[in-house]
Every structure is written in structure tokens, then in C-alpha cells.
Amino acid sequence: MMTAAIFGVLILLILIGLPIAFAMGLTAVIFFVVLGETSVLCMLPARMYSSTTSFTLLAIPFFILTGNLMNAGGITQRLFQFAHNLVGHLKGGLGHVVVVSAMIFAGMTGAAVAEAAAIGTVGLEGMTKKGFDRRFCAAIIASASTIGPVIPPSIPLVIYGSITGTSVGRLFLGGFLPGFLMGGILMMLVYIYAKMRNYPKEKRAAFMELLKSARGASSAILTPVIIIGGMVSGIFTPTEASICAAVYAFILTMFIYKEIRLKDLPRILWETLESSIRVLFIISAAGIFGWLLIHQKVPEAVIQGLLSLSSKTWVILLVINFILLMLGCFMEGIAVILLTVPIFMPVVTKLGVDPVHFGLIITLNSMVGLLTPPVGMVLYTMASIGKISVMELAYELRWHMAALAFVLFLVTYIPIITTFIPNLLMGIAR
């Protein structure tokens, strides 16, 4: 009964338009007061502070900074040109270019909204000029941008690793195959749409053109190699990897490509600060909300409730996926992770689900949520960039979301998709 009341108040506050961080924090305060635990309130600031002081979470601002530097430094255009020469000759050419660009760009920033803004700015007008329907352009850019937080580096996976103690390196490696699956199925979708709507393809690039564009993009493509290679080899931690990536991006854009000047740095740093504060404020609010849940023994109640439904792992995972997808319609992805991981983690641990596997399940769920109304951040970003209504874009995205849901189904029920590469490169976790 108390569990239903807590989540009922939280959902009510979200529905009346309160930002998710305020909704979680206010719900916690209300229930501590109602329960007569007013002495706890003086400890809330310390609890909020301690929720954001994990060494692993320090990686978040630096991954955001890396993405902002890459975006401002002309990297997106170089990657787009390379992808154009690589796959532009396929039926539906520029649609494939968007997906491949998103997959490569995913290796530089772990934020889907930033990826949607970067690729949308470059790709949307070019596609519409070639005869692509504007709604389709916005839809494929939006759905492709959700690959960003799956292929490493990934801000959601950093947060998940911080909460659960799971190796961020293993989580990053586990994201490669699901990310490539997402890209592959979206490219199949582009091909089907291109056949149905007679979308054009580009002229096949000569080998020397492809080689030249590959050289132009190669320095940027080294970013994920630095991040993953450094962590897998044990040279540095995820936080140290994020700092190295930011320093590399700064040197690349400032001194090699020379597309960022000193006067641009204050703006880039301010944008990074704003984005970091938004993420960390949600984390701090989730800290006190999670404290309330533990105080009221909500995780134990959820475990008993789910296990009473069935003892079969596939049924429990189906129910968890359904809950996560529903929450994704109303809450920002990071908030969903912060809210549900402490509740569901004991359940899946009891069932013997690999924590890397579950980390990718919950991340893919949060990515689908970014495309769903009423609060899908990528949905709103692309509707704004594309100058189309949110509901028009949501309708156009229906098959894209179905394709991503199919990948989620595969990842949920074929664990080796997420565990094969981590186990191959880092050994089987004990």
C-alpha cells in the first residue's frame, strides 16, 4: 500500500509538470514528514551530496565535454562525409549515412540528445533537399541517435555501474553488439522505406575518395579506442579514460583541425557545466528518493511481488521490460535508471541474471523511452530541429520504435549478445 502511495505521488507531481528531480525530492520530503521522520530532513543535503561524490560519476562531465568539443570542432561533418562515401551508394543512401554516422559518433559521446542535435543539424537539410520526406528524416535521425548511449562511452552505463558496482569497462564492452544490432536493423528499415517511397541513393565514391575521408575521420575515430583500450588494458579507470578523451578532443579540435578558438571555450565549457548539473542534480534527488524506498522496504516488497508472479526468469524479465517501457513514457532515461535499478537489481541478482546483461537491458529501455511522448527528450529535440509537430514525429517513429523494441527483445533473451565481448576480452566475471 505504501509503495503504491509513494509512486502515486511521484507520478502525480510529474504529470502536473514538476521537473523529475524536484518531483523525486519533494516526494521523499512529503513522505518523511507524513511518517513523522522529520529528524531525517536535516540529513537530506548530506545524502544528496554523497549521492554525487562517487569517483566513477566524475566521468560524466568529461564525457559530456568530449562530445561538446567534438561537435563544435567540425568532427560531425568529417564523420558524415566518411559515412557518405562508405554507404551512401545503398538504396536510401543518406538514411544509411545518418545511421552509420550515429554509430561512429556514439564512440565519442554518451548522450543521445547531443547526438541528435549534432547529426540533425548536418543531416536533416541535406536529406530533404534530396527528396526525403521531412518526417522520415527527423524519425531516422532521432532513432539512430539512441545508439549513442549504447555503444561506449555511455553516461547511462557509467551511472548504472556506479549504482551497482559493476565494472564500467565490462559494461562498455557489452554495449558494442547491441549498438551494432540497433544500427543494422535501422539500416534495414531505411532500405524498406526507400523501396516503398523510392528514396534516392548517392553515387558510389571512388576508392581514393573513401580513403581520403577515412583519413579525415580517423583521428576522431581513435577516441573510443583510447577509452576502451585504456580501460581493458588496465592503464586507467573509467574516470581517467574520460579525462584522457577530453584532453585528446581538445588537442584534436584546437590544434590539429583548428576549428575551435580560445573565444569558443567559455561557451563550450558553460554548455558542459549546464548539462552536467542537470544530470548530477537528478542523481542527487534520486539519492534521497532511494533512501525513502529503502526506509519503507520497497525493494523487498517488489522482489516478493515479482517472484510471486512466476519463478521463471523470462517472465520476470518481460514484466520488468514492460514496467521500464511504461516509465520511459513519463520520465527521463537517467531518472528511470536511478529509480528502478536499486529496486530491480536484487530481483535479477536472485534470478542469476548477469549484471552486465541487465545493465544493457535497462539502458536499451531508457533509449526507447527517449522517443516516446509525453516526455521523450530526443523526440522533442528532433521535432524542434525538424520544425514538425511532436505528434507527427511520434507517429512516424512507430516502426522505428518497433525495430528498436525487437533489438531489446533479442538482448533480453539472448544474454550472450551482451556478455560475449566482455568475457572474451576481460575473462568471465567471478
What are the grid coordinates assigned to 410, written together? 533479442
Check whether 166 has a pLDDT greater than 80.
Answer: yes
Mean pLDDT confidence for 297-323: 81
Checking if the pLDDT of 399 tops 90, the result is yes
Residue 160 in this model has a pLDDT that exceeds 90: yes
Say how many domains are in the chain. 1
Who wins on pLDDT, 381 or 196?
A: 196
Q: Could you tell me the CA-to-CA distances from 241 to 176, 229, 247 in Å, in that order?
A: 17, 9, 10
Give the predicted TM-score (pTM) of the model.
Answer: 0.85
- Mean pLDDT on 311-325: 88
Region 92-108 average pLDDT = 85
Predicted confidence (pLDDT) at residue 1 exceeds the cutoff of 70: no
136-140, 150-154, 225-229 — most confident range: 136-140
The three cell numbers locating residue 221: 575515430
Judge residue 9's burial from the number of C-beta atoms within 10 Å of its C-beta, 0-12 exposed, 13-18 middle, 19 or more buried.
Answer: middle
Average pLDDT over residues 198-213: 86
Residue from 326, 96, 67, 104 nearest 189 by CA: 96
Q: What percent of the chain has pLDDT over 90?
A: 20
Q: What is the pLDDT, as a whole number, of residue 251?
A: 87
Structure confidence at residue 356 as a pLDDT band (50, 70, 90): very high
Average pLDDT over residues 90-101: 90
Least Cα distance to 185 among 423, 408, 414 occurs for: 408
- Per-residue pLDDT averaged across 66-93, rounded? 82
Tell me which residue range forms the domain holding 68.
Answer: 2-426
371-392 pLDDT, tens digit each: 887 667 788 888 888 888 888 8
Is the confidence at residue 310, as pLDDT, over 80?
no
Other residues' Cβ atoms within 10 Å of the Cβ of residue 240: 16
Using pLDDT thresholds of 50, 70 and 90, give the confidence band for residue 429: low
Report whether pLDDT(61) > 90: no
Dist. CA 87–CA 213, nearest whole Å: 13
9-22: average pLDDT: 80
How far is residue 178's CA from residue 376's CA, in Å, rounded to a whole number? 21
Residue 258: strand, helix, or coil = coil
Q: Which of these, 85, 100, 94, lies nearest to 214 by C-alpha position?
A: 85
Q: At what angle do helices 298-309 and 2-15 cross, to 10 degrees?
A: 100
Task: Quote the radius of gyration of the chain (alpha carbons, Å).
Answer: 21
pLDDT for residue 274 is more than 90: no
Going by pLDDT thresholds of 50, 70 and 90, the confidence category of residue 430 is low
Top mean-pLDDT range of 30-39, 50-59, 96-105: 96-105
> How many CB atoms within 10 Å of residue 170?
26
Q: What does each C-alpha distance from 260 to 21, 33, 69, 220 come to in angstroms?
A: 34, 51, 8, 15
pLDDT value for 110: 63
Banded pLDDT at 407 (limits 50, 70, 90): very high
| Band of residue 193 on the pLDDT scale cut at 50, 70, 90 | very high
Tell me: pLDDT of 32 over 70. Answer: yes
Are the CB atoms for 388 and 138 separated by under 8 Å? yes
% of the chain exceeding 70 in pLDDT: 97
- Distance between CA atoms of 62 and 153, rounded to whole angstroms? 11
Mean pLDDT of the chain: 84
Q: Which of 197, 228, 56, 221 is nearest to 130 (CA)?
A: 197
Whether 184 and 410 have beta carbons less than 8 Å apart is answered as: no
Q: Give yes or no for a contact between 373 and 144, defined as CB atoms under 8 angstroms apart.
A: no
Which residue, 396, 354, 331, 375, is CA-closest to 164? 354
